[in-house]
Structure 1
């Protein structure tokens, strides 16, 4: 209650009045030593005739003999004319009872005045909820009007809360009261009956004392209910658990009983937090009993740990539960259910988790869509399975209708709720929804999936990312689509791989690479055929036909089977445009809008030039209006082109291409030279040094850098041998190509910069332009170019004796962060919040302690409507900053003294 602060102020006022001030602190002192100190102080000050003000902090609880002597010493000080202020904890009230003449200041009088504010003042009301008027918490919360949301308190507040929790579980309390307080903190809120179930009893006198002296626990007037501050947010709970760990170790039966009660009451999220305590291990069988619900919260590690502890005593459903847990966490094939019992368990929540994994692998779910289920979790998971089955057939409008009218999403911070939010967003986008109007629920679901170790379901997030990039027509969307496609086209999930290859084919068509587009689309069609996903197979074949015509090939015979649906109508339109330049071959099309294939109209009507124009002109007016509902089609839209000098790896026109970002790769005329060949004689380290050193170096500089253990004579010979290795490897591919030059008189070895191109130079030019440009559009264009080029940190060879390469690696990383920060700011000013968030995240990954990078990320997240994640990122940055600088928080008594 900050009694020390009150005493400090009173003593300061007495000192200004000319009184002599004496201060004694008894925190941690034994009753005997405190009694001796008081007696000695009374004897010393008895003869002093001046006005004396005495402050005594935290007199300890004592037995009857010590209390009698302490009261006698205090009366002696009063009789001598001294003003005495002393503070005691409630358990030391025996001393106060022996001094009926003293004026008592109760805990209620020390509360912050915010508790008396009218409820119409929302700011004061939230402040009262967070602090209960406890002065230490009110001071940590900050000035009125600047508080964070109740569910996201500041780090300073959480630190103060931790101190209050430790003081509330102090060793001077009786074991009975400490157990009661610990149970109330762990449960967070409940009734007196709950406390009886945990502790066996809940004495009225202790509850009455907590109501009067400890607002932290929020005991109601009738002593029937309580609501501790640990129930306000997850951060408050974790802080309480961290600072109550010693009390939990002392009373291990209390946290175990609290865990069991929380599971029985259905407060599983709080139970999952308690389950991290080692004292809760005996009660983890409760977790197994409701394992599917814990899996839904993302607590996979907890479920697996509980199953391991259960051993042979696990229930019959433990096998299904373990299969579900493995399916959620593994990117490999999930454990298969027993085929003989698959029909019996098809509607169980555990099997539905496995079905969610099977869909990503291109397999049909075990559960039939018409399988009856009971329970909210099963209903949500079954709705996800039904939506996946519909979207697998291309019935996106039916899936959207089913999801809109289906079961409630439940908690968005859950697996089932997140899957439904992603399903709804996918169905919305595929039926013509705008990618610029992303659902907050989908973004929250993505964040939940990424924060939790749910590798088995990350394919849904990948598909959503790909579809968003595919449907976007922003400048630079081609580069983003290509990057995402390249990342996911080797996914172990067949469905993700098919979608990535199809999206990559569209990116290639928009970028002018028809040959690669045909290969990707054909491969996507083959994979879709093998997985039985007919809709994706037909869509991929359609894209492959466009690529084939662009390559000058003819169209094969049209397949008529299954062409009467929406996709068939759009594919017929595509073939008509491909077969006739003047539109005479376009068949008659139904006027009804093909909602299940309107996405394909928008994709093919964007960025494909003449073909897109023919498609737009050949489709019915109703189709055109539906495809243009969220923005006009842009037939000639294309990504901004990076200048030729910044073409990046693999796109330079020079015969030799050297890649140093993200690894070492040397190509001559497009042919890759194996690393093991360049490792001989340290040729790789020498070439990198020469290229980064401006194209040449003195021989003695090479020796100091690559062969530091050699003298100059032997070092010069080694440099000659390394040069021979490089020349020989280049000559095997192109005998007429000369890469290295040596000057005998100057003693210098040089690379011919006219024949070799390096991605470092291209990246450096793009990043500097992104930093220096004053035009936001140009700044963003070059920031994206720098992002594409910087695929990783600069390669550092095994020999870097002078540290030249390491210092350049750090310099390039900082330049990359600069470009990403500037690009994020430019994207935010241009209204492209998603791009701003991605670029800012790149900057934070490059240097997590950069304040401007973290500030840019927080601004971008808030602009996207992701305020909760922005606050979490800000708190994380502040914590990293404190750890990085080695700052220590001042002790509470020192802060009060100041």
Structure 2
């Protein structure tokens, strides 16, 4: 419903002249939802008070409610006299003149109604005179309903004896939402109150919302922009703090009043009361003092932020500081990047040097510094901003910049204590400890900060990561560390560097401890974080994410889809001087080569790691030893392996877990089962060590059958853990069986055209009954394009088929009008879903937004009749039952155009339907599912009782179901049809089935 639409200035003295018309509602009366309960309640109260005042912002349907109120009064036989007037921008003299002309209604009705829309803001003397005029007319029997906006609060106070209707009362209530959904064809799958907060204009805009509109602005986005801009225009003249408060709310998107007050913003309780009462567009909760704007993270609110930044850039700076203190770094980074100049951005970086960097906004920090240095005559960058640039350089992997900023920080070491917060300095020191292999990037020492020990979670996570790097490779990792926080980002931001590092440590810890069985939602989280990290150009973090994801995929038996992950991580480790990570990547590359059959490369990499790894790096050495021995066994002949196995000292006890597994796999490959049994008995504890389980099963998988003897020795309760199966990823259902049912609501915003059994158009599960769909050419054109199965149909073809009696020029003109009418009927708008698309001379329906039962049936029949390999009989039977459910009747054939094409398609679809039913009957008989067979054969007979293959299948089904009399009657009726209509005889196969049924019946009678 549109709000505050312009209404023609007129006096209405007759019933037929005061009904809501298109001038008041440009969208048409069919788009207006009757708010019956609200109107009747207002009429009962308004008749006593004499004045009803509706005060609400744009978008809440004030004008619509006023028109419905007036229409209800006009339809009352006891009254009937109504005058509707739009007084936008009127002066006192013009208002008095209108009221004087309205006094003529007293002759037509004892209690006439004057409906005044958009009452203007008047100065105090004029307002007092206007209200006195209203009260005098009320005493003479007049009744008033007046609408105004919240900025006209002087009128609200002056009419203290009136009935007040606030914006909260105009919101769409849950009880009346069903009528709105039916009127506007709103999908039931939408989160209505999150998207609209119940604002009538926004609820109506949900009609064309679709999940596929991620880049373009929807009708809902445009409506949100329109509403918030009107609010900004209203509060421009507010002399209090309401304007600043509302603009801060829009800039922040969501948050709490407490966040503002912590940053020194003084919030008046009266302003909060006005927001809750007059502007329920911000989701303000008086109890928790929290707010949430509509579409807080969408593009519509960014457009509003641009308008605010152009007028009040200092408010953007204040909002960014509030967001940073509330740990909503991503929103603050968006404001800084899009709406602040270099000086203001650098000032914020000076105050919060580490928050932007640890949230992954290194590119933003670099851009701020670069823009500031490009300014003419700029001052020296502060120490805080310099520390932020240092942290950004480390998180982005820019070692040269890190050295430069570290050198500059050392030069200004005396100023660090005065300009840097202790918590920021501790976080920067913890971040630099991750890069101990790089020279000349150390931060200077600070005695004051050394005495302070802030226990911030981010510092704890960064230092825990440094400890993990050392403990992981040395095999001293405790995977059950209670201090670990397995999250990839904070609640408010997309990315938190410290939390994401902590998550990768946790997942690698499961690899080291052998507790990894299959991938889970944490691995999915890492995969989801990868494009975010890549877009922010955080190269070190991206390399680590890719390394962890690929390593876990390989260790559960899944193919490594990111083949360059280990190599790229190794390159990054070389640049950072991290030899331990470089060796780990080299080792994982070796196992990757082994699994794809590159045995020589795998053996070489295992030997290199053994030669370069420190003795304390036990995990690297054990994995490398098993890699080298496994590759050696795979690359050596059986004779040489047996000779080597004979040289083993089976009584040796002082061996490592990796050596125990290497000797066991050697004995298994040599087929020395007795020796292997003895070896397993002596070293059972080492062979079943959980820390070696993942690598051991990877080695057994690479050896294949040669490791079978070792597999048989593993206890039954543990054997599943040592079998590498590719079942870690859930297998989806057969897509053919997932063909959407016509009774199920499809994707939001999608149109569904049904042509079997007649023409029917639906959107979001609601049948479209608009007047445009009642026109013949609209339904015929839509049906013809749908039958094209998504292909383009030339305009000439459409013109000749739909208007065969016209010449091409007139037919093409009619086609242009029909296409425009069809787009309007489908709800196609610029920036919204494009249901009809054109290319050159071709026209087609967009299969992304238009679905049909014909398309679904074509997909199913293709799979049933072409006999796709790998589809079981149960799946084919289920698809046949789906086809029977879709085919509710013959294809729609219009009578308003050349129907030859429709008739051909109807015959083809009917023939395919019968073929599928016969195929389904055959499979059902094979599976002894006689109920399904009977169901499908009855559907086939309903479609065509003259096809011989249908008759034969029906006779078989009747025979198996004990319905032989019906089989005989069906055969006799078929004979009659052939003799009288075609002068022909039945096929020999049909006769043979009939004779068998009759013979079986006679034998039973004899017995």
TM-score by length of 2: 0.50
Q: Is residue 2:547 matched to residue 1:458?
A: no
Could you tell me how far apart the structure 2 residues matched to 1:132 and 1:17 are? 34
| Among candidates 681, 685, 704, match of residue 609 of structure 1 | 704
For residues 543 and 204 of structure 1, do their structure 2 counterparts lie closer, same or farther at Cα, with a shift above 3 Å needed?
Answer: closer
Which position in structure 1 is the counterpart of 2:274? 209
> 1:384 deviation in Å?
1.5
Q: Is residue 2:134 matched to residue 1:62?
A: no
Which position in structure 2 is the counterpart of 1:9? 68
Q: Is residue 2:678 matched to residue 1:591?
A: no
Describe the SS at the equivalent of 1:485. Answer: coil
Describe the SS at the equivalent of 2:683. Answer: coil
| Among candidates 236, 248, 259, match of residue 183 of structure 1 | 248
Q: Is residue 2:462 matched to residue 1:384?
A: no
Q: Is residue 2:543 matched to residue 1:448?
A: no
1:244-263 pair list within 5 angstroms: 244-263=305-324
Could you tell me how far apart the structure 1 residues matched to 2:221 and 2:456 are? 37
Q: 1:282-318 CA distances to partner (integer Å, 9 max, x unpaired)?
A: 2643434433233222232333345456766545465
> 1:601 deviation in Å?
1.2
> 1:5 deviation in Å?
3.0
Q: Is residue 2:383 matched to residue 1:325?
A: no
Which position in structure 2 is the counterpart of 1:755? none
| Among candidates 572, 575, 578, match of residue 493 of structure 1 | 572
Could you tell me how far apart the structure 2 residues matched to 1:459 and 1:363 are? 23
Describe the SS at the equivalent of 2:233. Answer: coil
> 1:268 deviation in Å?
4.1
Could you tell me how far apart the structure 1 residues matched to 2:108 and 2:704 are? 98
Q: 1:797-819 CA distances to partner (integer Å, 9 max, x unpaired)?
A: xxxxxxxxxxxxxxxxxxxxxxx
Describe the SS at the equivalent of 2:117. Answer: strand
> 1:379 deviation in Å?
0.6
Contact 1:528 1:534 in 2 (8 A): no
Contact 1:300 1:328 in 2 (8 A): yes
> 1:147 deviation in Å?
15
> 1:87 deviation in Å?
0.9
> 1:444 deviation in Å?
2.7
> 1:417 deviation in Å?
1.3
| Among candidates 271, 285, 289, match of residue 347 of structure 2 | 285
Which position in structure 2 is the counterpart of 1:295? 357
| Among candidates 526, 529, 543, match of residue 608 of structure 2 | 526
> 1:3 deviation in Å?
1.8
> 1:254 deviation in Å?
2.3
Which position in structure 2 is the counterpart of 1:484? 562
Contact 2:526 2:549 in 1 (8 A): no
Could you tell me how far apart the structure 1 residues matched to 2:64 and 2:704 are? 75
Could you tell me how far apart the structure 2 residues matched to 1:540 and 1:25 are? 85
Which position in structure 1 is the counterpart of 2:150? 90
Which position in structure 2 is the counterpart of 1:816? none
1:743-892 pair list within 5 angstroms: 774=868
> 1:88 deviation in Å?
0.8
> 1:489 deviation in Å?
3.4
Describe the SS at the equivalent of 1:87. Answer: strand
My pick for the range that moved more, 97-106 or 548-557, is 548-557
Greater relative CO, 1 or 2 (CA 8 Å, sep 6+): 2
Could you tell me how far apart the structure 2 residues matched to 1:771 and 1:498 are? 56
Describe the SS at the equivalent of 2:118. Answer: strand
For residues 263 and 347 of structure 1, do their structure 2 counterparts lie closer, same or farther at Cα, with a shift above 3 Å needed?
Answer: closer
Q: 1:509-568 CA distances to partner (integer Å, 9 max, x unpaired)?
A: 555x3xx23224424653785576674465345334433443336689999x99944334
Contact 2:115 2:145 in 1 (8 A): yes
My pick for the range that moved more, 379-388 or 462-471, is 462-471
Which position in structure 1 is the counterpart of 2:510? 428
Contact 2:475 2:512 in 1 (8 A): no
Contact 1:324 1:351 in 2 (8 A): no
Could you tell me how far apart the structure 1 residues matched to 2:727 and 2:165 are? 79
Describe the SS at the equivalent of 2:151. Answer: helix
Which position in structure 2 is the counterpart of 1:547? 631
My pick for the range that moved more, 562-571 or 250-259, is 562-571
> 1:603 deviation in Å?
0.9
Contact 2:484 2:506 in 1 (8 A): no
Q: Is residue 2:500 matched to residue 1:418?
A: yes
For residues 509 and 635 of structure 1, do their structure 2 counterparts lie closer, same or farther at Cα, with a shift above 3 Å needed?
Answer: farther
Could you tell me how far apart the structure 1 residues matched to 2:104 and 2:441 are? 95
> 1:324 deviation in Å?
3.0
For residues 409 and 59 of structure 1, do their structure 2 counterparts lie closer, same or farther at Cα, with a shift above 3 Å needed?
Answer: same
Could you tell me how far apart the structure 1 residues matched to 2:461 and 2:114 are? 67
Could you tell me how far apart the structure 2 residues matched to 1:507 and 1:771 are? 43
Contact 1:498 1:528 in 2 (8 A): no
For residues 273 and 373 of structure 1, do their structure 2 counterparts lie closer, same or farther at Cα, with a shift above 3 Å needed?
Answer: same
Which position in structure 1 is the counterpart of 2:304? 243
> 1:773 deviation in Å?
7.2
Could you tell me how far apart the structure 1 residues matched to 2:308 and 2:406 are? 45
Contact 2:350 2:383 in 1 (8 A): no
Could you tell me how far apart the structure 1 residues matched to 2:568 and 2:160 are? 81
Q: 1:225-248 CA distances to partner (integer Å, 9 max, x unpaired)?
A: 842223x99627x75453243234
For residues 629 and 58 of structure 1, do their structure 2 counterparts lie closer, same or farther at Cα, with a shift above 3 Å needed?
Answer: farther
Could you tell me how far apart the structure 1 residues matched to 2:410 and 2:660 are? 42
Contact 2:660 2:683 in 1 (8 A): yes
Describe the SS at the equivalent of 1:606. Answer: helix
Which position in structure 1 is the counterpart of 2:290? 227
> 1:319 deviation in Å?
5.1
Aligned length: 604
Q: 1:563-582 CA distances to partner (integer Å, 9 max, x unpaired)?
A: 94433433343444456654
Which position in structure 1 is the counterpart of 2:228? 165
Describe the SS at the equivalent of 1:436. Answer: coil
Could you tell me how far apart the structure 2 residues matched to 1:414 and 1:552 are? 49
My pick for the range that moved more, 464-473 or 202-211, is 202-211
Could you tell me how far apart the structure 2 residues matched to 1:347 and 1:244 are? 33
TM-score by length of 1: 0.55
Contact 1:140 1:157 in 2 (8 A): yes
Describe the SS at the equivalent of 2:354. Answer: helix
Q: 1:693-729 CA distances to partner (integer Å, 9 max, x unpaired)?
A: xxxxxxxxxxxxxxxxxxxxxxxxxxxxxxxxxxxxx
Give the unaligned 5+ runs of structure 2.
Answer: 1-59, 178-187, 212-216, 374-378, 417-421, 445-450, 574-579, 729-861, 873-1007
Describe the SS at the equivalent of 2:553. Answer: helix
Q: Is residue 2:442 matched to residue 1:375?
A: no
Could you tell me how far apart the structure 2 residues matched to 1:193 and 1:510 are? 54
Q: 1:768-802 CA distances to partner (integer Å, 9 max, x unpaired)?
A: 99998756689xxxxxxxxxxxxxxxxxxxxxxxx
Describe the SS at the equivalent of 1:228. Answer: strand
Which position in structure 2 is the counterpart of 1:827? none
Describe the SS at the equivalent of 1:235. Answer: coil
Contact 2:590 2:602 in 1 (8 A): yes
